Amino acid sequence: MTQTLHSPLLLCLLLLTAWGIVGLAGLIRPASVAFAGRTLFPLGAVCGAAVAYVAATSLFAPAEQIVLSIGLPDLPVHLRLDSLSSAFLFLLGAAATGISIFAAGYFRRGEGTPPGLMCLQYHLFLASMGFVLLANDAYSFMLAWETMALSSYFLVTTQHRIPEIRSAGFLYLLIAHIGAIAILLSFGVMQGGSWQFTFDAMRAAQLDPAWATSAFLLALFGFGAKAGLVPMHVWLPEAHPAAPSPVSALMSGVMLKTALYGMLRVTFDLLGEPVWWWGLILLALGLFSALYGVIFAAAQTDMKRLLAYSSIENIGILFSGVGLAIVFAGTGMRIAASLALIAVLYHALNHAFMKSLLFLGTGAVLHATGERNLGRLGGLIHRMPWVAWLTLVGALAIAGLPPLNGFVSEWLLLQSFLFASEVPQAFVNMLLPLGAALLVLAAALAGYVMVKFFGVIFLGQPREAALQEAHDAGIAERAGLAWLAVGCVLLGLLPAQVIALLSRVIQPLGFSGLPLDDGSWWLLVPLPQRQISYAPLVFFAVILVVIVLTIAAVRFFYHQRVRRSDPWDCGFGRLNSRMQDTAEGFGQPIRHLFTPFFAMARELPSAFDPAPRYRVVIGDRIWRGLYLPLGRLVRRIADAVAWLQQGRISTYLLYSFVTLVTLLALML
């Protein structure tokens, strides 16, 4: 028992199992919302906090591994906890805590999956993500990976009576499985002829460059599909809005990061030394995804779809950072690679908090109003002040504004882009810094998207009369939102501490970390020789002091009188809420400027139409150009194979017989 308490790995294992048990407990009273909500989800949240705590402490412990002889004979489960796993476990635990607290107040009685069953799926989802991070052999990794995919599939299709949700779930499952096959193949390549599928064997295997590259590309495809990297992103904007908000938050905030974890694990740990030009592929895909995601996010009118596209953007930023790190690592620039990797991990952590916060915020709005369409929302800051202000924190953070957390990781990533001109490869070193241009463009567009998101939902006048009856979120929901918002603020204000920790995280990937200047705790000096520094606390304090002084000065020298009146209407006199800019309108400049990205179909009313109707349908060119032809191809092949199905038993027996004979002939 004492040994258990001293071993973070066993503790983690215990906590993950506890999640499983909490989930199973849901089956005791499957129909009871109160039991799941008041008892089980809070318990899950406690487990989450414990996981985060254990993971944080295990950052300082050496890596440890165990072999559990459960499951199939001769196929024991290998588990390992090193600081990379710890970092992602921390992300999982910390985000899950907030989300579970929120979920405790979120689920209501309704059609769809009964709450007890949902509780099981939810906690299985959490536990399987934990096991993905702990797995140390291909079998257990794939087992956990598939459990994660399946449990999240069931969660996505909670409202399975709605056909769109069923098809969204199907698309998700399909792409998840195609990705899983690629990952499996990648493991198959990486074992390098030893036929040992433990990660240790893969680390030891010496692959020749062609095989290593194919393993990398397969992993990129597999994990990229899970992460939602363009062009494998199509499932994401379908599945995220379909799922209940806490599940969307988990999928976007945490599950996408497991793909990032897999990518990091394979590239830097299992494959050993990455080849520098792999990074270029990742960089190109990542930057394209970032831009693509944010441009589509700006054009969305469904608040959850908007956030889903924003997730694609952030995944793009993460993967471009990984790509940059690969280029640096492959050309021997260890410090620059460390900086880029730390930026990636930091951003992953940030995104887990910010995006979960925003998704939960939309969940609260959805509950209060029953609306996901931005065109029917508005003015909610008056009815739902808690949700509005907490969501504002997330929106400002994801827009990359200082002193919140989104800014820190973008700052780090930009700093590492400044190294790109020192890459020894000629010409490449000239092109890489251009990536920074795309990155900042995406970041600035994120600000645009977030103003649209927050402004249209919470500000202005309510666009529907029913919104006047909207109610603020309950205590549990507020607490969940507050947890994540506080996380955003802390991650933003204490970057020096976080980076000191993340410097430990990248050690198993073969990096020594940054030459941090530990002079003062409030000042972040990532690279002393560059004379760059950032101190958000001082920064924040100065802004606050200026604001307070200004308010005081205005009050002291002048007055604080305020009179309320109607808004100025230019003498028109009949202003109403329909005259505000809509979500479509807000996206118009982006649609106009980036027209080639969209497949747009517009329906414009004529001037004499008595019932004018304006409609714009924004399609995804990649969906039409790649997926639909692919789908047709598959259908055609399937039709061709269908003639094998004759419906007569004897024919089927003949198939079996022929197969048997062929196999025997080949074997002997």
Partner 1 sequence: MNMTALPFDLQLLNTLAALLLLLSFAMLSQRRIVTLINLLAVQGALLCIATLLLAWRTGAGHLYLSAGLTLALKVIFLPWLLHRLIRKLGVYWDTEPLLNTTGTMLVGVLIVVFSFGLAQPISALASTATRNSIGIAVAVVLIAFLTMITRRKAMSQVVGFLSMENGLFFGAMSATYGMPMIVEFGVALDVLVAMLVLGVFFFQIREQFDSLDLQHLESLKEDQ
Partner 2 sequence: MTALFDWLAQILGILAAVLAAPLFLGWVNQCRAWLQNKSAPSILQPYRGIRKLFHKDAVIAANASQLFRLAPYMVFGAMVTAAAIIPSVATRLPFTQAADAIALVGLFATARVFVSLAAMDVGTAFGTLGARREMMIGFLAEPALLMIIFVASLISATTALPRISELLATQSLALYPSLAFTAVAFTMVLLAENARIPIDNPATHLELTMIHEALLLEYSARHLALMEWAAALKLFNYVCIGFALFVPWGLATSQAPLALALSSLFLGAKLVLAGAGIALIETVSAKLRVFRAPEFLATAFLFAVLGLLVRLLLGT
The only residue of 120, 171, 218, 450 in contact with partner 2, by rule CB under 8 A: 450
Minimum CB distance to partner 1 smaller for 426 or for 644: 426
Minimum CB distance to partner 2 smaller for 162 or for 381: 381
Shortest Cβ 427–partner 1 spacing (Å):
6
**Residue 332, binding choice from partner 2, partner 1, none, Cβ under 5 to 8 Å by partner class:** none
Number of residues that bind partner 1 (CB under 8 A): 6
User: Contact at 8 Å (CB) between 493 and 536?
Assistant: yes
Q: Does 637 bind partner 1 (CB under 8 A)?
A: no
Q: Which stretch binds partner 1 (CB under 8 A): 219-227, 281-289, 423-431, 536-544?
A: 423-431
Distance between CA atoms of residues 320 and 347, nearest Å: 12
Shortest Cβ 442–partner 1 spacing (Å):
16
Residues 6+ apart with CB under 8 A from 30: 114, 115, 116, 117
To the nearest 10°, report the CA torsion of 256, 259, 265, 267.
Answer: -120
The only residue of 235, 278, 454, 597 in contact with partner 2, by rule CB under 8 A: 454
Q: Which stretch binds partner 1 (CB under 8 A): 82-90, 401-409, 424-432, 534-542?
A: 424-432
Structure tokens at 413: 């990533």
The residues in 372-411 that bind partner 1, with binding defined as CB under 8 A, are none
User: Contact at 8 Å (CB) between 115 and 32?
Assistant: yes
The residues in 225-284 that bind partner 2, with binding defined as CB under 8 A, are none
Structure tokens at 180: 């899983």
| DSSP 3-state of 241 | helix
- 441: burial class by Cβ within 10 Å (0-12, 13-18, 19+)? middle
Shortest Cβ 200–partner 1 spacing (Å):
43
Q: Which residues pair with 619 in a beta bridge?
A: 599
| DSSP 3-state of 141 | helix
Q: Which residues pair with 599 in a beta bridge?
A: 619
One-letter amino acid at 441 equals: L
One-letter amino acid at 14 equals: L
Shortest Cβ 646–partner 1 spacing (Å):
53
Distance between CA atoms of residues 207 and 204, nearest Å: 9
The residues in 361-380 that bind partner 2, with binding defined as CB under 8 A, are 378-379
Q: Does 531 bind partner 1 (CB under 8 A)?
A: no
The residues in 573-632 that bind partner 1, with binding defined as CB under 8 A, are 593
Minimum CB distance to partner 1 smaller for 431 or for 575: 431
Shortest Cβ 115–partner 2 spacing (Å):
35
Number of residues that bind partner 2 (CB under 8 A): 80
Shortest Cβ 121–partner 2 spacing (Å):
37
User: Contact at 8 Å (CB) between 419 and 339?
Assistant: yes
Q: Which stretch binds partner 1 (CB under 8 A): 133-141, 174-182, 422-430, 568-576?
A: 422-430
Residues 6+ apart with CB under 8 A from 594: 295
Distance between CA atoms of residues 405 and 346, nearest Å: 9
Q: Does 159 bind partner 2 (CB under 8 A)?
A: no
The residues in 388-447 that bind partner 2, with binding defined as CB under 8 A, are 392, 396, 399-402, 407, 411, 414-415, 418, 421, 429-430, 433-434, 436-437, 440-441, 443-445, 447
Q: Does 580 bind partner 2 (CB under 8 A)?
A: yes
Shortest Cβ 437–partner 1 spacing (Å):
9
Binding mask 458-497 for partner 2 (x = CB under 8 A): -xxx------------------------------------
H-type alpha helices, 107-255:
115-134, 138-156, 163-190, 199-204, 209-227, 236-242, 245-250
Question: By C-alpha distance, which of 334, 229, 223, 221 is closest to 274?
Answer: 334
Distance between CA atoms of residues 10 and 1, nearest Å: 10
| DSSP 3-state of 651 | helix
Minimum CB distance to partner 2 smaller for 140 or for 415: 415
Shortest Cβ 336–partner 2 spacing (Å):
12
Shortest Cβ 601–partner 1 spacing (Å):
21
Residues 6+ apart with CB under 8 A from 41: 100, 101, 103, 104, 107, 119, 122
The residues in 550-579 that bind partner 2, with binding defined as CB under 8 A, are 550-551, 554, 557-559, 561-570, 575, 577, 579
Structure tokens at 435: 């990536």
First to last CA, the chain: 55
Minimum CB distance to partner 2 smaller for 349 or for 443: 443
Q: Which stretch binds partner 2 (CB under 8 A): 348-356, 476-484, 545-553, 595-603?
A: 545-553
The residues in 432-451 that bind partner 1, with binding defined as CB under 8 A, are 434
At residue 618, φ and ψ (nearest 5 deg) are -105, 115
Residue spans of beta strands (DSSP E) within 579-635: 598-603, 615-620
Shortest Cβ 568–partner 2 spacing (Å):
6
With vertex at residue 338, the alpha carbon angle to CA 332 and CA 340, rounded to the nearest 5 degrees, is 105
**Residue 195, binding choice from partner 1, partner 2, none, Cβ under 5 to 8 Å by partner class:** none
**Residue 184, binding choice from partner 1, partner 2, none, Cβ under 5 to 8 Å by partner class:** none
The only residue of 72, 73, 163, 427 in contact with partner 1, by rule CB under 8 A: 427
Distance between CA atoms of residues 119 and 155, nearest Å: 10
The only residue of 430, 466, 542, 544 in contact with partner 1, by rule CB under 8 A: 430
Q: Does 431 bind partner 1 (CB under 8 A)?
A: yes
Q: Does 523 bind partner 2 (CB under 8 A)?
A: yes
Minimum CB distance to partner 2 smaller for 542 or for 633: 542
Within 13 Å and on the Cβ side, how many CA atoms surround 255? Answer: 34
Q: Which stretch binds partner 2 (CB under 8 A): 129-137, 250-258, 492-500, 583-591?
A: 583-591
The only residue of 38, 166, 382, 504 in contact with partner 2, by rule CB under 8 A: 382
Q: Which stretch binds partner 1 (CB under 8 A): 111-119, 274-282, 344-352, 428-436?
A: 428-436
**CA-to-CA dists, residue 560 to 519, 557, 567, angstroms:** 44, 10, 20
**CA-to-CA dists, residue 518 to 493, 499, 525, 531, angstroms:** 16, 11, 8, 14
**Residue 426, binding choice from partner 2, partner 1, none, Cβ under 5 to 8 Å by partner class:** partner 1
Distance between CA atoms of residues 590 and 297, nearest Å: 10
By the criterion CB under 8 A, which residues form the site for partner 1?
426-427, 430-431, 434, 593
